[in-house]
Structure 1
Amino acid sequence: MAKKPKLSKNQQRQIAQNRDKRIRDSAHNKSNDNDLLGEAIDGRVISRFGKQAIVETLTERNIHKCYIRRTIKSVVCGDKVIFRPSLSKEDRDRGIIEAVMDRQSTLSRPDYYDGIKPIAANIDQIIVVSSIVPTLSTHIIDRYIVACEHAEIKPTLVINKVELLTDDELSQVITDLEIYKQIGYHLILVSCKTRKGLPELSNILKDKVNVLVGQSGVGKSSIINQLLPDSDEVVGEVSNNSGLGQHTTTAAKLIPFDLGGELIDSPGVREFGLWHLPVQDITEGFVEFREYLGACKFSDCKHKHDPGCLITQAVKNGDIDSRRYESYIKIVDSLDQNRPSYIKE
């Protein structure tokens, strides 16, 4: 795939001006190009599939199926939009999304074919779900945390299926994960079978727009079914052949939370790629590194074997957890290997 040309500032400005014009025109005028479309109103995307989206009105919360104008670059779950609903009662007829409003926040992941691909927009909180099976990997947790920090949204960490652990195993997991609490992350141990941790999780989700992310098979849909019994999320099993989770959610969708707020369930990804990020962003994604950044002996310090590196010295002193540092090195070393050839750092 050829690298997409980077837009100049003038081109970006022109695109923004064209979008703003469509918003103004849609908000004040009724186009007569299609008599089956109503006046433009505000809405929010609650699901996206292919070239269509389901839009909910902001006041009455009525649901409308809509096409997306070809001029719109991206529409994701959580987007606030200007759309014209269909006036037809025929199920085959659709409204149309005219414009997407500026996003307050965006969670994105890289895609080898589509470049940087947004997952959800206008979110308040990210819930990173891991589980005892298929496997509990602190390295995968670290990768998700870096992505969340890059989006400037501090995550809450959830470990699911803890009922599968013996008391000794549970004690060891708590010990292994204590570092995340020490560096400021909220950690919740959850069991959908015993309901352990679910009340605490419900309280955290209240009155916020939350997105659940995690590998396939960690139990995101099971957690949603426990919190929202009427959501009817499809639950998958872990493959006996690969030991990996099987995808059960095929499109991101926004689900209202009874206590207030919403959940966004996103398609599972087995590994959250970070190859689109510069090394500096990876480094800043490890929050305990930040107080040392810019103070190393050399300005181009790689934080490996460089003389005068404050981060490696902090690891030796025990001020930075060695497992987190090793995870950081593993991520940085994997960037060039995983980055597509058409993308340069």
Structure 2
Amino acid sequence: MESITEGLEPNATGIVIINYGLQVLIEGLDGIYCGNHYRCYKRANVPSLVAGDHVIWRNANPFGIVVARQTRSSKLARLDISGKTKSVAANVSQLFIVIACVPLPITNLIDRYIVAAEAEHISVTLIANKIDLDKHKNSVQLQAVINEYKRIGYPVIRSSVKTAIGINLIKNNLRNETSLFVGQSGVGKSSLLNLIEPTANSHTRPLSIANEKGAHTTTVSRLFRVSSGGNLIDSPGTHTFSLAHLDSRQLIEGFKDFHPFLGKCKFRDCLHDEQSGCAISEATKKNLVSARRFKNYHQIKDELKIK
């Protein structure tokens, strides 16, 4: 009987570029494999793989095999349609949330991304793209969103694919990091990626004129090596992002503007709602906490059925 290891070369390290389902595309990180891409199957005992995963693999003809997944420093995950936790990307050190005046930002979605990142100690930066559309009817609302998150302490980079504003600043932030692009469909993530790394050739599609909503052009997370430095993972655009894999502590800790008021409520078992004595609720009335963020917190909390 032929050995399962027959024809396999010695162990090597690699990073997952994209998961195709039955196969993964990896980039070799050492020796003669360094910088080259290889299609691989994975052994049945290897956990699921996503863009950014570091693996141990063995080369063979025509396909290599992944024999182990190395420990993740972080992961971003969501719930899939079957209710199972699904990782989006691994070993991410910073998250870029791309927004634009068209489509208008969904702040509930922004807050979900932030909560997921905070739970994994991943830094967050917002990219306000399409900034050249400063005369658009939504520009005032976009500026209000920008101001809100800047006040909390999240950096905001203004960018435009048409004028190249902000592109060099984004590139500088990408160096020595593994970054993930997330955002609604149609905000221009793929166009930004193509400008940041022209070899990406990421597919783009125009917005629907009828409703100014985008179509999904990226269908699965993929890692790109940025020639100016760093790794950039592009993820599918979305209008929803479930946090059902998180608990109540992770949820409220993801709203860092609430932190100064935690432990200051009248009752120790405060549900942080409109009840008398809630320090966070009182803070919203004094404009110390965003009322919109407080509403988003409760919408997510109700969805997770957290008491």
Query: What TM-score do the two structures reach when normalised by structure 1?
Result: 0.82
Cα distance between partner residues in 1 of 2:90 and 2:98: 19
The alpha-carbon distance between structure 1 residues 300 and 272, as it changes in their structure 2 partners (threshold 3 A), is same
User: Residue 47 of structure 2 aligns with which residue?
Assistant: 73
Instruction: Say which structure is richer in helix.
Output: 1
Q: Select 2:248's aligned residue among 279, 285, 296.
A: 279
Cα distance between partner residues in 1 of 2:137 and 2:20: 45
Cα distance between partner residues in 2 of 1:171 and 1:267: 27
Q: Which runs of 5+ in 1 are unaligned?
A: 1-30, 337-343
Q: Select 1:58's aligned residue among 9, 20, 29.
A: 29
Post-superposition offset of 1:282: 1.8
Higher mean C-alpha deviation, range 69-78 or range 270-279:
270-279
- Report the number of matched residues: 303
User: Residue 147 of structure 2 aligns with which residue?
Assistant: 178
Higher mean C-alpha deviation, range 306-315 or range 158-167:
158-167
1:49 corresponds to 2:23: no
1:94-153 CA-partner distances (Å, limit 9, x unpaired): 111001011011111111315111111111111111222222222322222112112221
Q: Which has the larger radius of gyration?
A: 1
> Secondary structure in 2 aligned to 1:269?
coil
Query: What TM-score do the two structures reach when normalised by structure 2?
Result: 0.91
Q: Select 1:302's aligned residue among 244, 267, 271.
A: 271
2:39 maps to amino acid: K
1:304 maps to amino acid: D
- Percent identical among aligned pairs is 39
Contact kept, 8 Å, 2:47 with 2:69, in 1: the verdict is no
Q: Select 2:201's aligned residue among 229, 232, 245.
A: 232
User: Residue 282 of structure 2 aligns with which residue?
Assistant: 313
Post-superposition offset of 1:224: 0.4
Post-superposition offset of 1:241: 5.4
> Secondary structure in 1 aligned to 2:199?
coil
Contact kept, 8 Å, 1:44 with 1:80, in 2: the verdict is yes
The alpha-carbon distance between structure 1 residues 217 and 169, as it changes in their structure 2 partners (threshold 3 A), is closer
Question: After TM superposition, which residue ranges in structure 1, 4 or more long, deviate above 6 angstroms?
Answer: none
Cα distance between partner residues in 2 of 1:78 and 1:257: 14
Post-superposition offset of 1:327: 2.3
Task: Point out which structure has higher relative CO (alpha carbons under 8 A, 6+ apart).
Answer: 2
Q: Select 1:139's aligned residue among 96, 108, 111.
A: 108
Contact kept, 8 Å, 1:207 with 1:259, in 2: the verdict is no
Cα distance between partner residues in 1 of 2:106 and 2:83: 27
